[in-house]
Amino acid sequence: MSSLALAVSRRNRRTPYTDRIETLGVQGYSIVNHTLLPKAFGRTVEEEYWHLRSSVQLWDVSCQRQVEVRGPEAARLVQMMTPRDLGGVVVGQCIYAPLIDDKAGLINDPVILKRAEDWYWLSIADSDVLLWTKGLALGLGIDVAVTEPDVSPLAVQGPRAEDLVAAVFGDAVRNLAYFRFSLFDFLDRQLVVARSGYSKQGGFEIYLDDSSLGTELWDMLWSAGQGLDVTPGCPNLIERIEGGLLSYGNEMTRSNNPLEINLDRFCTLGGQIDYIGR
Amino acid sequence: MSSLALAVSRRNRRTPYTDRIETLGVQGYSIVNHTLLPKAFGRTVEEEYWHLRSSVQLWDVSCQRQVEVRGPEAARLVQMMTPRDLGGVVVGQCIYAPLIDDKAGLINDPVILKRAEDWYWLSIADSDVLLWTKGLALGLGIDVAVTEPDVSPLAVQGPRAEDLVAAVFGDAVRNLAYFRFSLFDFLDRQLVVARSGYSKQGGFEIYLDDSSLGTELWDMLWSAGQGLDVTPGCPNLIERIEGGLLSYGNEMTRSNNPLEINLDRFCTLGGQIDYIGR
């Protein structure tokens, strides 16, 4: 990994999994949403690629912060923020949706989780979508609460991910369809588990909503994965580019509109929906 | 410096001064506003402190991105964003102003530059104030343009800063009062130079508005500083805490309101101004 030295400060937030990541020999980080994103564990990008395609990896993606939009007009506000038609989205569904500004410049490209008719999570890339959403809601006088809940996603990616997640959360996770989520028991609570993630090798994202349980969640998955060749990992450059997954802040920024970066299939241009930047 | 390894990517933006900073032996960075902020040059924090108090340092603070608010209603929008009364601020003045949300949580604490009656720059700390400002402006239908111009501040700090800046920009900079700015000739253009900066040792911030000229600006200052014991530097932990300067993202976040962190002297609580979070 080509790297610089990163000064330690509260500005670069640790995650509920950082202690374990360090024990397992993390060798570098990026900073996403003011949060540490592990980037290297001592193997080459190519070695990590082949492992991801054959086994299973745990990724600390706590940096994918949730922006929660909740209240009577939540659906209206979230629809205004994206050119993708959210009309048919049902509770329990994830949907990838570019967010654009009034000039159609890309602000972020979250996966949106519809938790209830009046309750959305935006699982974001690297920009402060919370501020954008709060600014719009306040300015428009829309009746919603916009907050950043204590949610730290942990991704389980690779062809053996289903066996691993089933070992901890039960065989019912095997019935989850792609880009669907449901609640599954964990200790004395229930966690959102989605069949999703930033690879094309299959897998899940676990939305831990109590950061004090990070070590326990990591350890249970790690222990269950010992027969499955589990390793710590991170979004893989080769794999994601091969799979056509763009990275906000790298391949695309606010100076791009969704059409020029091949996101037109996620836009509903000829429809009736009302959105900013139309 | 206690440090981790930072993975190189476009996400962590280089600045117009990074080439020179590297030549001069930078040993670590923080990430502020998705941008590299140099943090160490091989001396201890205490050694840097004593040098800053006796000589002059060049700080690459390009991470202090400008949010430009320009248009007929610029003054109205900027005032709505802070509890500090901006009514008496004149063109050519800088003013430190906490920005708060509807719950009085701190969103950022920029220095605001009033460039004209209808033109403001917010020189920001580590959060995407651009998105907050654009969201509010759009939502409220306020007649302004909100943009991020190509401006990369370079700070010259320390007791010998005035001699150094005067050597490059002329003796007229000596007449600048504290927290005032003016335009000064540089090559074939004019740059905003302010008597300001994130130390209590005196100094200036030069708002370079063409990133292609970064090396030339650095070299002219560096050359002029050879008789003044100039070094590269950065905001100094000992000096700023001694001087009472807080760091957004470290000592204060959105979970703080200005009153609980001793910023009440920058709030006009009993006045007539209209602001969010009042």
Q: What residues form DSSP beta bridges with B13?
A: B35
Decide if B129 and A133 are in contact by the 8 Å CB cutoff: no
- Are B205 and B197 contacting, i.e. CB atoms less than 8 angstroms apart? yes
Determine the Cα–Cα distance for residues A29 and B8; give it in Å rounded to an integer: 9
Decide if A40 and B276 are in contact by the 8 Å CB cutoff: no
Kindly report the number of other CB atoms within 10 A of residue B177's CB atom: 9
Tens digits of residue pLDDT in B120-151 = 999 999 999 999 999 999 999 999 999 999 99
Cα B268 from chain centre: 23
Tens digits of residue pLDDT in B224-234 = 999 999 999 99
Taking phi over 0 as left and psi of -120 to 50 as alpha, with beta for the rest, A158 belongs to left
pLDDT value of position B233: 98
Indicate if the pLDDT at residue B3 is higher than 80: no
**What average pLDDT is seen over chain B?**
96
Q: What residues form DSSP beta bridges with A231?
A: A57
A9 to chain B: which residues are within 8 Å by CB? Answer: 30, 249-250
B135 to chain A: which residues are within 8 Å by CB? Answer: 131-139
Query: Is A167 buried (19+), middle (13-18) or exposed (0-12) by CB count in 10 A?
Result: middle
Residue located via tokens 């800088």:
B94
> How does DSSP classify residue A141?
T
Biggest alpha carbon–alpha carbon distance for chain A: 54
Decide if A5 and B2 are in contact by the 8 Å CB cutoff: no
Three-class SS state of A260 = helix
Per-residue pLDDT band at B269 (split at 50, 70, 90): confident
Comparing C-alpha atoms, which of A219, A194, A66 is closest to residue A129?
A66
Distant-in-sequence, close-in-space partners of B13: CB < 8 Å, separation ≥ 6: B34, B35, B36
Q: Phi, psi (5° rounding) for residue A93?
A: -105, 145
B2 to chain A: which residues are within 8 Å by CB? Answer: 7-8
- Are A118 and A72 contacting, i.e. CB atoms less than 8 angstroms apart? yes
A131 to chain B: which residues are within 8 Å by CB? Answer: 107, 127-129, 131-132, 135
Query: How near does any CA of chain A get to the CA of B18, in Å?
Result: 12
CB pairs below 8 Å between A and B: how many?
A: 152
Decide if B4 and A135 are in contact by the 8 Å CB cutoff: no
Residue located via tokens 């150094």:
B164
Decide if A31 and B11 are in contact by the 8 Å CB cutoff: yes
Residues of B with a Cβ under 8 Å from any A Cβ are: 1-12, 27-32, 34, 36, 39-40, 101-102, 107, 126-129, 131-141, 247, 249-250, 276
Query: How near does any CA of chain B get to the CA of A251, in Å?
Result: 8
Per-residue pLDDT band at A278 (split at 50, 70, 90): confident
Mutate to test the interface with B, among A2, A6, A236 (most CBs of B within 10 A): A6
Q: Phi, psi (5° rounding) for residue A3?
A: -145, 160
Domain-by-domain residue ranges, chain B?
A: 66-149+253-266
Determine the Cα–Cα distance for residues B68 and B66; give it in Å rounded to an integer: 6
Pick among 3.30.460.10, 3.30.70.1400, 3.40.190.10, 3.20.10.10: CATH of A66-149+250-266: 3.30.70.1400
Query: Is B182 buried (19+), middle (13-18) or exposed (0-12) by CB count in 10 A?
Result: middle
B32 to chain A: which residues are within 8 Å by CB? Answer: 11
Distant-in-sequence, close-in-space partners of B223: CB < 8 Å, separation ≥ 6: none
B137 to chain A: which residues are within 8 Å by CB? Answer: 135, 139
CATH superfamily entry for domain B66-149+253-266:
Aminomethyltransferase beta-barrel domains (3.30.70.1400)
Determine the Cα–Cα distance for residues B194 and A62; give it in Å rounded to an integer: 39
pLDDT value of position B1: 61
Nearest residue of A to residue B1 by CA position?
Answer: A7
Indicate if the pLDDT at residue A1 is higher than 90: no
Decide if B7 and A2 are in contact by the 8 Å CB cutoff: yes
B140 to chain A: which residues are within 8 Å by CB? Answer: 139-140
Decide if A131 and B129 are in contact by the 8 Å CB cutoff: yes
Comparing C-alpha atoms, which of B205, B253, B171 is closest to residue B94?
B205
The DSSP annotation for B242-264 comes to: HTT---BTTTB-TT--GGGGT-G
Nearest residue of A to residue B277 by CA position?
Answer: A138
Indicate if the pLDDT at residue A44 is higher than 70: yes
Residue located via tokens 């670069």:
A12
Per-residue pLDDT band at A262 (split at 50, 70, 90): confident
**What average pLDDT is seen over chain A?**
96
Determine the Cα–Cα distance for residues A185 and A197; give it in Å rounded to an integer: 20
Query: What is the ipTM, given to two decimal places?
Result: 0.95
Per-residue pLDDT band at A270 (split at 50, 70, 90): confident
Distances in whole angstroms, Cα of residue B76 to Cα of each of A75, A251, B232, B263:
30, 36, 39, 22
B181-186 and A56-60: which strand pairing? unpaired
Determine the Cα–Cα distance for residues B84 and B274; give it in Å rounded to an integer: 10
Tens digits of residue pLDDT in B49-78 = 999 999 999 999 999 999 999 999 999 999
pLDDT value of position B202: 97
Decide if B139 and A134 are in contact by the 8 Å CB cutoff: no
Decide if B11 and A34 are in contact by the 8 Å CB cutoff: no
Residue located via tokens 């989780």:
A113
- Weakest mean pLDDT among A44-53, A195-204, B221-230, B247-256: B247-256
Average pLDDT over residues B228-247: 95
B12 to chain A: which residues are within 8 Å by CB? Answer: 30-31
Q: What residues form DSSP beta bridges with A4?
A: B6
Query: How near does any CA of chain B get to the CA of A52, in Å?
Result: 20
CA angle A75, A78, A80 (to 5 degrees): 105
Per-residue pLDDT band at B152 (split at 50, 70, 90): very high
Decide if B250 and A11 are in contact by the 8 Å CB cutoff: yes
